[in-house]
Chain A
Amino acid sequence: MSLVHTSAAELGALVASGEVSAVEVAQAHLARISTVEPQVNAFLHVDAETTLAQARAVDARIAAGERLGPLAGVPIAHKDVFTTTDMPTTAGSKILEDYRPPYDATVTRRLREAGLVILGKTNLDEFAMGSSTENSAYGPTRNPWDLSRIPGGSSGGSSAAVAAYEAPLSTGTDTGGSIRQPAAVTGIVGMKPTYGGSSRYGLIAFASSLDTPGPFARNVLDAALLHEAFSGHDPLDSTSIDAPVPSVVEAARNGDVAGLRIGVVKEFGGDGYQAGVLARFHESVELLESLGAKVVEVSCPSFTTALPAYYLIAPSEASSNLARFDAMRYGLRVGDDGTRSAEEVMALTRAAGFGPEVKRRIILGTYALSSGYYDAYYGQAQKVRTLIARDFEAAFNQVDVLVSPTTPTTAFPIGERADDPMAMYLADLCTIPTNLAGNAAISVPCGLADEDGLPVGLQIMAPVLGDDRCYRVGAAVERALEGRWGGSLLSKAPVL
């Protein structure tokens, strides 16, 4: 098997044993990137020299006898919303074109410390707002399963890079489903950790009470290894949880669901769900039952108002967070001709630098926070948020994990929902409750839909700091299904 088809865990072992150098692994992936990028467009920035310098440094550290983690020498694609001092950081926006941050995000720093080799920065919906990467100012990324379709979003560059074997691992951020939805529609694993379990320091903010960094990988164990590598308490993030990282790697190796209580969320299914998605979902539930899990139906009535609550809360926070793009200290400045005021320059710059979805959300958030509307919109949405957290609490009194389809449909064609914001927002129907409540959830591949032959994701939701349960159940599903399929789901994808 070639290096680009090897798992992250195996690559780490090969590098640690000296059988292969980190430089050789990086070179193989850089070559793969050159081959497939013209079709996929997963990356906004690749710089072979910077990557190879990192790989040489890892080889030197290993040669010097330094004991590095299990992912030392493993390449990774990094979502272009985390700051990096040695590569541009754009958040997919024209307002940050060519921006070089003066500091590394905590996630970036921890990747470096663990000896991961950053291949480049991946495409995303501008400021992580979207479900398709079509909102990137730098053009859409394409789904490796079908190049005419979206790879999900907002972390669509990261999902496509892993699905196209350009990188064994990638980072993402999940505010309303931006890791789980792209993972589902590209046939890979994507995890949204418990809010506060991974640091937001140096993550360009969209909605601060929801934004959560997390891993993408082609299998559950690799995702757990990456999760462990960059998670844990960070004094630089005041919402970081000061508690040990749940034992996710152990859970991914274990994968035993005998006796586990699994709840099927009654509210997710029916109208608006693709038949092939529901068929694969129901099969997964039967599979878990056959592996010894106890399955019951659970009702979470407030989940039906999660989507409207989210589209008030997230834009409200965004309208405040994006006020920092003021054309004064960094980023784009437009119209500064010596006669215009700072306020005029600010308004011209923001109009030129932000794309349509970002503008829509800033206006929507400003509206929801306006005096006179605040109680009816933002205040009421915050109450719904409490009800959703209570529904989760009640559910987790009865069961250990909840399951649902990750997305109502498989990957849709590029352009289909581009000018219909409400249709686009529905892609996050099943993922949003977890963001509002702050608990953990993973998406693992569970098959291909009969209608279109495209990947379907199974979502597994666990309580706050119960991240290990997501990996345990995910590993069980993966092991059983790969046994049936005779390999990974991704091995059925067209060869690029």
Chain B
Amino acid sequence: MTKIYRNLFQLVILLFMNSQIITASNLTHFSGEEKSTQPFSIIKGKITDEKNEPIVSANIKIKGTSRGAITDVNGEFSLDVNEGDVLLISAIGLTSSEVLVSKDMLTKGNLNINLKHSNTALDEVVVSIGYGSGKKSEMTGSSAKIKGTEIINIPTLTATQAMQGKAAGVQIINSGAPGSAPNIRIRGTGSILGGVDPLYVVDGIITDDIRNINNSDILSMDILKDAASTAIYGVRGANGVVIITTKGGRKGKTQITYDAYYGVKRMVNKVEMAKPNLFTNYSNEAAGTTAIKPTDVTGATDWMDAITRMGSIQSHALSVSGGSDKSTFFFSANYLKEEGILKGNDYQRVSVRSNNDYQLTNKLKVGNTFSYSNYVSNNKPFSLFTEAYNAAPIYNAKNPDGSYGSTTTSNVGNPLAKLELTNDRNIGHRLQGSVFGEYTILKGLSFKTSFAADAGFNNTVNYNPVFFVSPDQKNTRSSLSLTRDNGYHWVWDNYFSYVIQKGKHDLKLTLGHTAERFDGGWMSASKKDIPAQEQYWNFSFGDPLSIAVSSGSQDNYGRRESYFARGLYNFGGKYFVSATIRRDGASKFPVQNRWGNFPSIGLGWNILKEDFMKNITSLSQLKLRASYGLIGNDNITPGQFVTQFSSGLNSVFGNTIYSGAIPNQIIDPNLKWEINKEFNVGLEFGLFDNALTGEVELYNKKTENALYLVSLPGVAGDVDNVYTTNAATIQNKGLELSLAHQHTVSKDFSFRLRGNITFNQNTVLDVGQGGALDYGGLDNGYTCTRVIQGQPIGVFWIYQTNGIFQSDAEVSAYPHIVSAKAGDKKIVDTNGDGKIDDKDRIYAGSYQPKCYYGMSFSFYYKAFDLAMDVIGNAGNKVFNGKKTVRYGGNYNVEYDVATNRWTPNNHTNDNPRAYNGVPLPTDYFLESGAFVRINNLTLGYTLPKVISNKYKVGRLRVYAASQNLYTYKKFTGYTPELPGAPYDSGIEKHIYPTSATYMIGVNVEF
């Protein structure tokens, strides 16, 4: 059946292509003749608004072609046109207009067009939809658009970090670490073991890492959320798609922009630890003896202060763009440097870009995008934050003689020594680019081919010197490890676009094919006894016997081939139908499961255009839409369906290690991708001439065939006692609401308020034959999260407590663990079986918020602009994991925990008695993850034109801003934003604390 279908599909495509070749070649011929008799001419024009103010960046396009122009700062443009061409003129915030090119115009060679201001802003928004673009008003699926201008002044490495709180249904979980990418969840977490991050499409290049992209280069980001929108990306659309379009040049005067900022970063939410006296008291009370003697206290160190500093961030972005009738260009360069709050931890990136378009003939356009970026990242282990939390405060970080301090009473090494002795650096290069050609075969029909490639090269240098801090913290032989890895990816898209307009019928068709390949490998070597000086960190030195080499393939290698088709139809702008289908083949699946089809359908109804709505004047916009589609998630490790020999199962005979290998994994030879079935319904509305606009969306996304680890009994002899199979069903359902209000109070004062909120409910509906999976290891022998039917993915699975045992009598009267004493947390025997064990654990909420929201406020008064972004989430829990690890009485303890601890004289119910053991994972460590944050506050001032023009500057704006200025939270740890895997996020353990940034910046345009 599928085979027949597949063949049919190919046949259609081939027929389509071949027939077009004939037509196309004829046409090319014709067009040549056409030119000789009726040369097309250059028309110059100016676009203005009602007040005759020039409109900058208005878009002029010849209907049915890809040709067009964009107005310059004076509102002027020029364009090659033929008589009879229809110019489509549009600009943001203005009513679009169509102008027929008359003979008269051509002879005059001049055209002045007046556009009216419009509040129907939504109408004008052009959205990227994958292999093309369209008006938002014609769409039946759910997507969000974020313009480059909204993120340009936010001091983050990637654009995704900057879009936090700006779109409904998009949750961004940031880490404070320089060089890190955030977790992004579009409409919840749709997989347990597969990938959960969205797909990025940067100018047609499919990638999962956009850290090479300079934020200033981004024109816009379109976030495709529902299945109807993402089905065009088929087997990779399941987690949503972020389409990033980088800037191109514009016809007209050459524009130069310079955007720069500098800021300092300060650690916020420091956790106060016990000072030496309190620590000693606490530890000795817990030990019941004087384990730490007064003579052991040789100093007083606040370890968090010792390893942290005031960080900084700076960025300088320069771009030059412009163009003529035949070509446009865009060049940019960016330098970004971030110094983290952890000493010695920094990240810097240099990136350059060149995007160029050439209109070779009126039918043929070619172009390229190209970017190169280089980064250097100096890394320090994040575990240092936990070690600084744990380290005993009773000795000096550094002694007066410069040596590192140490203590015999602690088995946490000196964190400062570890920090300073870590030499770990990544240096990487990335090249990303594409070339494309677009040919207009006949009016309305065009063909585009695009070849894009992405290559990355990374070097890692890790040097461990010889050192002696204490008998437990030493290294007697230096070692150097060098790693080289590279990866490449190419994708080749070919597709036809066809636009037909007849009367009220409007149909757009897209039909295409794409193929891609990705591959790469790594090689790593290490050697001992390398000299400490950095210039000797190569393998010419060192002990030749100690060399060890390993190599491997990139995890994600493979090939894909796909066919796709899309139809967008509307009748009079009133009724909309869209349908897409993608047929995907992926090499990573067994032959019988290699191909899959991913269809979607969407319907839209512009209610306001109905006659019966005519009299309702307060409504300026009302559109209802619904969609349904299937999309896939193939983001899993390749080759899991083949019996493999696991190597590294070594043994020693004599004095030699022999390598052993044997199949030790039960495999599922029938593995498939995960399938999402998503239903979406949305309502877009505008009130009072669009002074208030909004969108409400309801979605229900069901992931079927989700990968799951089904437990295997011991007799199977499987190395990890589980096998990966398509067993689970996960549901994410939710509600998104976005509202925007804009108001121009007077010529001098206007403001805009926007807000969005998303409610998402995540549930594991079914796990097939699989049982519960335990995750969230706390490094103390216990786990705290689970994946189990009926609960959200990664639900906290912990013991419940009910105050504190106030006396030993109370302990013996109630079920308790062996070591329980007065002053311990009273763990509830929830199942009433008279003993405390795993069966008493409860499901205590999830790291996934019940809702998350963002608000932004913008005020414009004369030359001043003030903007504030607020983000937050509610209804989630976080686990204070670092607090649960306290071995043997020499780990430090939080000031509050120590001072307010239970003692025979202090009958509190909050903090237990002084205790040196390993506590059970109880709700004592579970805290609210809710927070509200002033994410961004910016005050800007634009120099009046009269002044700036005097200095030949088009526009000059200076601003001061703060990122993460204030967070209101209940959590007592460093940060409630805790990225992680789907099954064990929300645990604060080895986390990089978030920091606040205070910065000044400038935007200049020449």
A binds B: no
Q: Which residues of A contact B (CB under 8 A)?
A: none
